[in-house]
Structure 1
Amino acid sequence: MPGKQLSRWTIAWFASALAFLLASLTLAVAGYGGPADWAGGAALAVVHLFALGWLCQMMLGSLIQFAPVLAARPLARPGLALPALLFCALGTLMLAAGFLALDGWEPGRPLLSLAPLPLALAFGFALAMLAPVLAGRGAWRQSEARAVLAGLAGLAALWFSGAGMALALTGFGPGGLVSGGLPVHMVLGAGGWLTLAAMGVSYKLFAMFLLAPERDTRLRRAGFFAALAALALALAALIMAWLEQDTALPLALALATGALAGLCYLAEIFRLWRARRRPRPEVNMNFSRVSLVFLVATLVLLAPAALLGGPFAEAAVFLALAGWLSTLTLAQMIKITSFLTWIQVFSPLIGRQKVPMVQDLSDPRTVARWLWLWTAGAACATLALLAQTGPGFRLAAALMLVAALGLTREAWAIRRLRHLSPALRPALLPPVILPPHPTPVQGRSSLHDRPHPI
């Protein structure tokens, strides 16, 4: 990745997302939300702190960093990255506080109705940065870019469904949209936006980290068209929900075609894995493979979730968000943090002094230990949802919280180069979160010459 393509605010996006992850898990451990207890305002706040604050911010931050890699073009309007982050965080906090109005906290009612506005600005800024890169100069013909573009369309639809339900909850929209639109909203969020974007990015990352050949195969094209059909059916269901009509048929068809897209994706990743030239994958790829197990389990639960609802629906949504998407995100976050830190600190020093390898910046055993704890917690929480046991769910959430704290500490250690010997550690380090201050070094930008207290 050329240094000029580094986004200045990627680490800030990651840090904000981790803060929301820790907040949501802390509240879950405290008993806000759990089996058959997702309709209250506090529970909805926890869900959106996790899905919107954690996963959505991590995905947007990652796309702002990797869209230029997918399309081999510089990011459009990079100055919008910070405003997008600030508005996304503000909108998430307003939405979470606004949901408390459902529990009787009246000051939250105007927050609930206004929260879609900063989120619209955040998503609009993100689209203004990403869409020109992914859609221009034939980049959209690449399987990775196509999947991400479809995911961004899902993000727009997700906002419309969420804004409509927020207005309905505050008395400004059709009341039937809440009950009829909620399943569509979840499908658009977990599937139409996050999973499609994760598929697109992971095609590139898996090939990069496994040293596997990249090509636009029939499996990728079949998976994309199935995903596109699922997205179109979900949009049809959303329109029917707005009109207060029955959404069962288009939603069921969306789930079926979405499952087909998921199977094509899994088959393509299996092909990449078998074609890899790296004999021993690193820890990020091993746990990315674990996340695929969660994806398989999610696909298995789709049918009973659609037919029976209840615990099966709760478990399927949780598996998608906390199992498949979060495990993949956490595993790759550590690698990406190491990679960006190496680029900032050591790439200007190549040829001038000895530099470490990217993998030297992290401790793979520590990372593996925390990721195993996360996967165990996610699996146990899923079983607790199926069994409808609140104490079991809170205990599993506590395991996930400890794992998230451990991985956050590891990300901090990477930024501080704690795993390097003093001989390899430069005297002045980049900021932990805020962007570095570039100064010229032999015609290039050195991103590590000025310390920062954060």
Structure 2
Amino acid sequence: MIGAALSRWTMAYFAAALLSLLAAEIMMTVGFGFPAESVSAPDTLVLVHLVTIGWLSLVMCGALFQFVPVLTATPLHSDRLQLPALALLVAGLTALVLGFLRLDGRARFEFPFLSVAAALLGAGFALVIWNIALTLRDARPLALPAGFIGIGLAAAGAAAALGIIFALTLDGTTSSAAFVNILGRALPLHIVAGLGGWLTVTAMGVTYRLLAMFMLAPDVDGASPRATLWLAALALTLLVTGGMATVLAQRSLAPVLVSTLLVAIAALALYGRDVLRLYRSRKRRPLELNGVTAGVALVNLMLAAILCVVLTLVGRFSDYIGALVFLFGFGWLSGLMLSQMYKIVAFLTWLEVYGPVLGKTPTPRVQDLVAERPAARWFLLFFFGVWIATVALLADAGQIFRIAALAMTAVTCGIVVQMVKTRRLANVPEPRRLPGNAVPPRLLFSSTKPT
């Protein structure tokens, strides 16, 4: 990546995402939304969308703007669309939250917040998908990880389209019988397309490349990862096309969801084997912190898959869906996002500050920008908090869940402090901090050319 352009606004995406994560954790701590209220309550919808859009999606968008050009060896289609997309997504999320609060009577403004949110979020995601999709188009034929990202973008479009229909119908902007039917029956499709398609399939593609890059392992290729790619595509096709046809025909979604689950489990099994092979074939034998924590997140993904199968087999899926989604969203996705964000912040800061003077003067290593020992304790506590909170949800122990959520909030603050110190070069000894003509980085945006 030396000489490659840096994404100017990736750090701003990360900052907005971390604020959303902390807001969601504080809400869980004080008993706002699930499990204090039902999974369909407006307060729960606020909490869920702060996590899925405000936290997970913003992190993913920021990371893709930086790493899709690396994956494809092609410049990003447009550097100018990143900031407008971020503004639209943040404004849309704000309107969405106010719209849900208005459903519950907490916000008393007579304003079509949900319809405005549908327009803003639809435009924001459209800019993201357009920018990345055109970058992928210009890079054909695509490398394997980029194929996963393409599937993830399709899932993001499907999830966003369903969300727009839900918002317009709930707001009363439309009373179309077809839209009312979709609102009443297609929620599982929206959830699975978002968490399973957009976030998980995209994360699979990104981790194939990032883990290989950071662990100095050979890039994954061959029959197994390609089978994983095709199975992921098949699962998404079954979910979206089969699911929508079933919804419009007003038939049971159960066969479609079970079929999708079976294909997805097969894809995850192959993905797990591929990642295990990456760990075994790495040239950097001592694992860095992001490699260890990514491994823990992947274990949580497998635990969530096992829990999903068990709950389905015993007929208790609907009773414990909250615990399953929590483990999936925080144990797998949030754990992975935090672990890779920790490394990405260090890596991009190193490129920005020391890339221009590399070869002209001695420079610190990427690892010199971080303090792994204190950060490792924070990550360990984060995963312990997730596991305790998941068990509390399974045991219907609301008070224990809130204590675990409080611990997760404090731990997240600790991880954020570590990232800010990395960005401020606080861990680099003063004599080596800014050698030669090196320029200190800004906190929320990057210079666009490291060399």
TM-score, normalization: structure 1? 0.93
Q: 1:420 to 1:47 in 2, by over 3 A?
A: same
Q: Partner amino acid for 1:114?
A: V
1:106 offset after TM fit, Å? 4.2
Gaps of 5+ in 1: 439-444, 448-454
Q: 1:242 to 1:394 in 2, by over 3 A?
A: farther
Q: Partner amino acid for 1:50?
A: V
**1:193 alignment counterpart:** 198
1:44 offset after TM fit, Å? 0.9
**2:55 alignment counterpart:** 54
Q: Partner amino acid for 2:40?
A: A
**1:202 alignment counterpart:** 207
Residues 152-161 or 247-256, more deviating: 247-256
1:109 offset after TM fit, Å? 5.9
1:406 offset after TM fit, Å? 0.7
**1:396 alignment counterpart:** 404
Within-5 A mapping of 1:296-311 = 296-306=302-312, 307-311=315-319
**2:226 alignment counterpart:** 221
1:428 offset after TM fit, Å? 5.0
**1:255 alignment counterpart:** 261
Q: Partner amino acid for 2:397?
A: T
Aligned mates of 2:220, 2:416 — CA distance in 1: 35
**2:103 alignment counterpart:** 102
**1:238 alignment counterpart:** 244
Q: 1:94 to 1:407 in 2, by over 3 A?
A: same
**2:349 alignment counterpart:** 341
Aligned mates of 1:4, 1:309 — CA distance in 2: 47
Does 1:211 find its partner at 2:211? no
What is the DSSP-based 3-state SS (H/G/I as helix, E as strand, rest coil) of the residue aligned with 1:78?
coil
Contact 1:226 1:261 in 2 (8 A): yes
Q: How many residues align?
A: 439
**1:324 alignment counterpart:** 332
**1:431 alignment counterpart:** 442
1:242 offset after TM fit, Å? 4.7
Contact 2:156 2:197 in 1 (8 A): yes
1:17 offset after TM fit, Å? 0.6
Q: 1:414 to 1:108 in 2, by over 3 A?
A: farther
Measured against aligned partners, the alpha-carbon deviations of 1:185-223 in whole angstroms (never above 9, x if no partner) come to 111111011000000000001111111111422111111
Measured against aligned partners, the alpha-carbon deviations of 1:51-105 in whole angstroms (never above 9, x if no partner) come to 1100000001100100011111111011101111111111111111111122123
Does 1:264 find its partner at 2:265? no
**1:113 alignment counterpart:** 115
Does 1:183 find its partner at 2:183? no
Residues 400-409 or 311-320, more deviating: 311-320
Measured against aligned partners, the alpha-carbon deviations of 1:342-401 in whole angstroms (never above 9, x if no partner) come to 111111112332210001101001111111111011111111111122111111111111
Runs of 4+ in 1 over 4 A off after TM superposition: none
1:291 offset after TM fit, Å? 0.3
Within-5 A mapping of 1:60-79 = 60-79=61-80
**2:147 alignment counterpart:** 146
Q: Partner amino acid for 1:49?
A: L
TM-score, normalization: structure 2? 0.93
Aligned mates of 2:189, 2:30 — CA distance in 1: 29
Q: Partner amino acid for 1:31?
A: G
**1:290 alignment counterpart:** 296
1:28 offset after TM fit, Å? 1.3
Q: Alignment RMSD, CA only? A: 1.8
1:238 offset after TM fit, Å? 3.2
What is the DSSP-based 3-state SS (H/G/I as helix, E as strand, rest coil) of the residue aligned with 1:2?
coil
Q: Partner amino acid for 1:393?
A: F
Q: Partner amino acid for 2:116?
A: L
Of the candidates 387, 395, 405, which is equivalent to residue 395 of structure 2? 387
1:305 offset after TM fit, Å? 4.2
What is the DSSP-based 3-state SS (H/G/I as helix, E as strand, rest coil) of the residue aligned with 2:445?
coil
Aligned mates of 1:201, 1:34 — CA distance in 2: 30
Aligned mates of 1:372, 1:49 — CA distance in 2: 24
Contact 1:34 1:390 in 2 (8 A): no
Aligned mates of 1:366, 1:158 — CA distance in 2: 38
Q: Partner amino acid for 1:143?
A: L
**1:376 alignment counterpart:** 384
Of the candidates 362, 373, 383, which is equivalent to residue 354 of structure 1? 362
**2:8 alignment counterpart:** 8
Contact 2:10 2:445 in 1 (8 A): no
Q: 1:415 to 1:423 in 2, by over 3 A?
A: same
Residues 384-393 or 309-318, more deviating: 309-318
Contact 1:34 1:393 in 2 (8 A): no
What is the DSSP-based 3-state SS (H/G/I as helix, E as strand, rest coil) of the residue aligned with 2:201?
helix
Aligned mates of 1:432, 1:137 — CA distance in 2: 31
Residues 184-193 or 164-173, more deviating: 164-173
Q: Partner amino acid for 1:32?
A: F
In percent, how many aligned pairs have the same letter?
37
**1:27 alignment counterpart:** 27
Of the candidates 412, 417, 429, which is equivalent to residue 425 of structure 2? 417
What is the DSSP-based 3-state SS (H/G/I as helix, E as strand, rest coil) of the residue aligned with 2:20?
helix
1:3 offset after TM fit, Å? 3.5
Aligned mates of 2:316, 2:183 — CA distance in 1: 20
Residues 381-390 or 167-176, more deviating: 167-176
Aligned mates of 1:270, 1:188 — CA distance in 2: 26
Q: 1:188 to 1:305 in 2, by over 3 A?
A: farther
1:422 offset after TM fit, Å? 0.8
